[in-house]
Structure 1
Amino acid sequence: MPEKITVSVADDAMGRIDEVVRALESGGMHVEQVLRPIGVITGSVDTRHVRALGSVAGVAAVEPQRTVQLPPPDSDLQ
């Protein structure tokens, strides 16, 4: 099952972020967005491959994307 993830690029790999992207894609990640100025790559990958992406050269961290949903404005929550 695919899982949405956010990958942080290591500081020393910022200059070769395109290489990191290619390596992540080779590892099974479907890259959706590359935020070059801040060194973040978003996308999805099969849950079986998440841990392996953390060992890709130039990757500082792999984290699941979290979603937050606020209640509707007319709800009873205060």
Structure 2
Amino acid sequence: MSESSQSAPVGVILAVDPDRFAEVAEALRRAGLTVTSEQPILGALSGTVPEDGIPALEAVDGVESVDRERTIQLPPPDSPIQ
């Protein structure tokens, strides 16, 4: 029953210590992050996590920031200027 009460997954983008990238990425996976993209040189990861799991990601040593993904819809090129 606990699985049905789990919050919906949300997309997140994380900035981590690039010098410890592999170590921090593994700790984030253990904390519940499903990694969808890695940029080790930049020290950035993106992925999904249940919404109530975001505090656990923020608590991982080596994580500098956790931001929710945002979707922005631009109007079509032929639409009138607003």
State the TM-score bracket (shorter-chain normalisation). 0.7 to 0.9
Q: Residues of 1 paired with 2:53 and 2:69: CA distance?
A: 15
Which residue number corresponds to residue 38 of structure 2? 34
TM-score (ref. length: structure 2): 0.83
Which residue number corresponds to residue 18 of structure 1? 22
Give the root-mean-square deviation of aligned CA atoms: 1.2
Deviation of 1:36 after TM superposition, in Å, equals 0.9
Question: Could you list the per-position Cα deviations for residues 44-73 of structure 1 after superposition, in whole angstroms to 9, with x for gaps in the alignment?
Answer: 100010122101010001000112110112
Q: Mind listing any 5+ residue stretches in structure 2 that lack a counterpart?
A: 1-7
Identity percentage of aligned residues:
37
Contact 1:71 1:77 (C-alpha < 8 Å) held by counterparts: no
SS at match of 2:61: coil
Higher helix share: 1
Q: Residues of 1 paired with 2:67 and 2:22: CA distance?
A: 19
Q: 2:10 aligns with which of 3, 17, 29?
A: 3
Structure 2: which amino acid aligns with 1:32? Answer: T
